[in-house]
Structure 1
Amino acid sequence: MEEGGSRRGYVPVLVGTRKEDVEKIWVTIKAIQHLTIVELLEQSAKEYGYQNGVLKITCDADKFKTILHNISRK
């Protein structure tokens, strides 16, 4: 699958705490609905407001990947 393309069943999310550290992470539709991810999205919306385009989460990318891994194991 191409980096710039879309993936069926996934949503691209920009994750990072600083602009230079932002990473695009593909999240499954199922995981994006998980309470922990929803809370992170709401937290980012409160901090930056709702914006058009790609979803953004203010969180360390490695920590976010760990959260996704733990969600997928359950």
Structure 2
Amino acid sequence: MKKSQSRRGYVPILVGTGKEGMEKIWVTIKAIQHLTIVELLEKYANEHGYQNGLLKLTCDADKFKVILYNISKK
């Protein structure tokens, strides 16, 4: 599978603090509906407006991965 292809049951999100530091992270549909992720997406939308293309979050990618890990353990 090419990297540009989608993954069934996942949503790509660009996460990072700068254009060069953005990392594409694949998030499960279940995790993207979690309150913590929804709040992060709403915060980004309030700060930057709604945009076309990939979902984006302005936060440290490693911290976001920890959030996903914690969500998956519950």
Match of 1:19 in 2: 19
Please list every run of 5 or more consecutive structure 1 residues that lacks an aligned counterpart in the other structure. Answer: none
Looking at secondary structure, tell me which structure has more helix per residue. Answer: 1
**What is the rounded CA distance, in whole Å, between the counterparts of 1:39 and 1:29 in structure 2?**
15
What is the TM-score when the length of structure 1 is the normalising length? 0.96
What is the TM-score when the length of structure 2 is the normalising length? 0.96
Q: Please give the residue correspondences for 1:36-55 in structure 2 after superposition, counting only pairs within 5 Å.
A: 36-55=36-55
SS class of match (1:70)? helix
Match of 1:66 in 2: 66
Q: Percent identity?
A: 77
User: Aligned pairs, how many?
Assistant: 74
Please list every run of 5 or more consecutive structure 2 residues that lacks an aligned counterpart in the other structure. Answer: none
SS class of match (2:20)? helix
* Cα offset, 1:52, TM superposition: 1.1
Over the residues paired in the alignment, what is the CA RMSD in angstroms? 0.7
Instruction: Detail structure 1 runs of 4+ shifted over 4 Å in the superposition.
Output: none
**What is the rounded CA distance, in whole Å, between the counterparts of 1:33 and 1:63 in structure 2?**
18
* Cα offset, 1:46, TM superposition: 0.7
